[in-house]
Amino acid sequence: MNEPDVEVVETDLLILGGGMAGCGAAWEAGYWARAHGLRTTLVEKAAVERSGAVAMGLSAINCYMGMRWGENQPEDFVRYVRQDLMGLCREDLVYDIARHVDSTVHMFEDWGLPFFKTEDGRYKREGRWQVMIHGESFKPLVAEAAKKAIGPENVYERIFVSHLLKDERTGRASGAVGFSVREHKIYVFKARAVISAAGGATGVFRPHAVGEGLGRIWYAPWNTGSAYALMIQAGAAMTQMEHRLVVTRFKDGYGPVGMWFLLFKGKVRNAYGELYEETQAAALDDFPPYGQGRPIPTPLRNHQMLLDLAQGRGPHYMRTDDALQALTQGMDPKAVREIEADAWEDFLDMTMSQALLWASNNIDPALRPSELTLTEPYLMGSHSSATGAWVSGPEDLARDGYFWGYNRMTTVPGLFAAGDGVGASAHKFSSGSYTEGRLAAKGAIAFIEDNGDRPSVDDGQVGTVIETLFQPYRVFEEFQGRSTKADVNPNYFYPKQGLMRLQKLMDEYVAGLGANFMTNEPTLLRGLELLGMLKEDMARVAARDRHELLRCWELWDRIRCAEAHARHVLYRQETRWPGYYYRGDYPKLDDENWRVFVNSRYDAASDQWSLETHPHHTVVD
């Protein structure tokens, strides 16, 4: 193997990830950094215009208060998130986003994002927190603003960042190392502060669609958990990594159901025409006080559907036909066509595969219902889930242990997080993640100004990382001739084979689909044992080209996320989120002992984890 070219980039603020959080960080940093004569650099493994969870587009912005019209206040949003997370969220972080998110949304409109409007000029609501948009061009719009803010010459695309760098003397974040997925080249970024704004993790668990359908999932398949893996390896404290997201979606196409539930008032009925919320209403009594609160938390709605299925009442159907017929009754044909166009745009803007699936199955949603299913688990911090780093909140909302100098800074000095990367702060979605990126950038620039020295970068540390990065190439080159067929070789395996092994392990031992989301301590311990073997075997993962090299390091990201998740699930001795996962040995919710955050730290040098609890503090009554 030829030695790669190495380019060193010196900057002040380094933003990792060009999704909504990363673009928000870049836009905000562009203002504050310029004022202080600082350079901001953004690194993205794809192209910023079509990267992240909003890559394909969106049909709604799901986090908007509407304070200019008196619709909601930040306190309302905190209560909503706390209820949906069944009592556990960082209320300071949630409040901080809620009080700033409206200005972000108004900015999107100023930039040209088309909104649905009511006759009196308000944004058209899909639900209490959601406003409808024509969002196919949403991501290109915010990408353009980010590039203009920091200068296109400071945006590095098609680079996969695999390792963070730290000053060995102070422990401060000092940069990152990555490799190009287009040329044989290494990039060493030296920085005074770093923001981890990459995506959450999909592909950790075995999905519904396998074989030729692999990759057909709901959340972005290219989000492999870099936001978490980078911070875990750096020794940052992580929180609520036992949390996960399992959501109801149209079967096989994974189309969104929000518009049908919220705007069209669609109902989900089982095979016998019953509403599972009614047939399984008594199940909510087992999880007070959250089962009695409204809205019903997302995991408890899943729990009701799972019980209905276990009793042989499936499959479940979204009655799109009934909803559209009820909504359009008595309307003239033109108005009916407008309603149907909105329904189709909901999918064409963000899940085109659902529209294709309907067409291929001869389903007109105006005439026939569509089957729903629960997805495989995902690890993310921006939806109805809250995995991520334990970060400092804003000083004015500080509670004991919630603030240590700079908003959104992790426990590693100079390392900040936003979007999926921040734990215990759910329901951010696109606008909230963008807002959190802005908050993180402002905090990071303040940190840089207060800490004028530049952290050191050890050349030996960089050299070790570079040597490690291309090990999969060397494995393939050394052993490819040891068998008559390169694809079958006892000396190595390809990243796709490793991914299948990880997904099988997580599915069977860490409460995946195949286990009906059930696990217990002996099962988890066996899973962790097998995961340890997989980590050992990763010394033999092989890459034939840059694409497979990327897949090798994405697999490492997923493995690190998987281990964090499994260890957290094992540590929390209760079933707090039934419908996301169940601890068969601790089947009840235990607010008395476990209404606390579970935090972890990983020590890369010793390959050891430490876990502890942290109290939950109420900010909003």
State the pLDDT at residue 247: 95
Q: Minimum mean pLDDT among 119-128, 215-224, 405-414: which range?
A: 215-224
Beta-sheet pairing, 173-180 with 388-389: unpaired
pLDDT at 352 exceeding the cut of 80: no
pLDDT at 344 exceeding the cut of 90: no
Pair 126, 263: CB distance under 8 Å: yes
- Taking CA atoms, 164 is separated from 228, 234, 481, in Å, by 12, 6, 35
Q: How many residues comprise the chain?
A: 621
pTM over 0.95: yes
pLDDT at 290 exceeding the cut of 90: yes
- Taking CA atoms, 375 is separated from 207, 250, 372, 500, 527, in Å, by 8, 9, 10, 18, 21
Q: Minimum mean pLDDT among 122-131, 352-361, 458-467, 547-556: which range?
A: 352-361
Residue ranges in 175-269 assigned as alpha helix (H): 226-233, 258
State the catalytic residues. 62, 126, 218, 249, 346, 383, 430
Q: For the chain, give every domain's residue range.
A: 251-370, 460-589
- The fold for domain 251-370 equals Flavocytochrome C3; Chain A, domain 1 (3.90.700)
From the list 376, 380, 377, 406, the residue with the least C-alpha distance to 391 is 406
Residue ranges in 193-290 assigned as alpha helix (H): 226-233, 258, 276-279
Pair 377, 246: CB distance under 8 Å: yes
State the pLDDT at residue 494: 98
State the pLDDT at residue 408: 98
State the pLDDT at residue 337: 82
Residues forming beta bridges with residue 249, ordered by sequence position: 373
Cα separation, 601 vs 190, in Å, equals 24
- Taking CA atoms, 25 is separated from 236, 244, 451, in Å, by 20, 25, 20
Kindly report the number of other CB atoms within 10 A of residue 41's CB atom.
25
Pair 443, 410: CB distance under 8 Å: no
Name the region of 73 (left: φ>0; alpha: ψ -120 to 50; beta: rest): beta
Evaluate whether 251-370 and 460-589 have a shared fold: no
The 10s digit of each residue's pLDDT in 141-200 is 999 999 999 999 999 999 999 999 999 999 999 999 999 999 999 999 999 999 999 999
Cα separation, 614 vs 596, in Å, equals 6
Q: Provide mean pLDDT across the span 239-267.
A: 89
State the pLDDT at residue 493: 98
Q: What is the mean pLDDT of the chain?
A: 95
Distance, CA of 319 to chain centre: 29
Q: Provide mean pLDDT across the span 391-409.
A: 96
From the list 409, 19, 519, the residue with the least C-alpha distance to 223 is 19
What the block records as the tokens of 392 is: 């400092």
The 10s digit of each residue's pLDDT in 12-47 is 999 999 999 999 999 999 999 988 999 999 999 999
Place of tokens 């957290």: 568
Cα separation, 587 vs 518, in Å, equals 10
- Band of residue 346 on the pLDDT scale cut at 50, 70, 90: low
What the block records as the tokens of 138 is: 């949403």
Distance, CA of 181 to chain centre: 23
Cα separation, 232 vs 565, in Å, equals 12
- Taking CA atoms, 481 is separated from 470, 488, 549, in Å, by 19, 11, 19
- The fold for domain 460-589 equals Methane Monooxygenase Hydroxylase; Chain G, domain 1 (1.20.58)
Cα separation, 286 vs 292, in Å, equals 10
Cα angle 161-163-168, degrees, rounded to a multiple of 5:
145
Q: How far apart are the first and last CA of the chain?
A: 62
State the pLDDT at residue 263: 76
pLDDT at 257 exceeding the cut of 90: no
Beta-sheet pairing, 316-318 with 596-603: unpaired
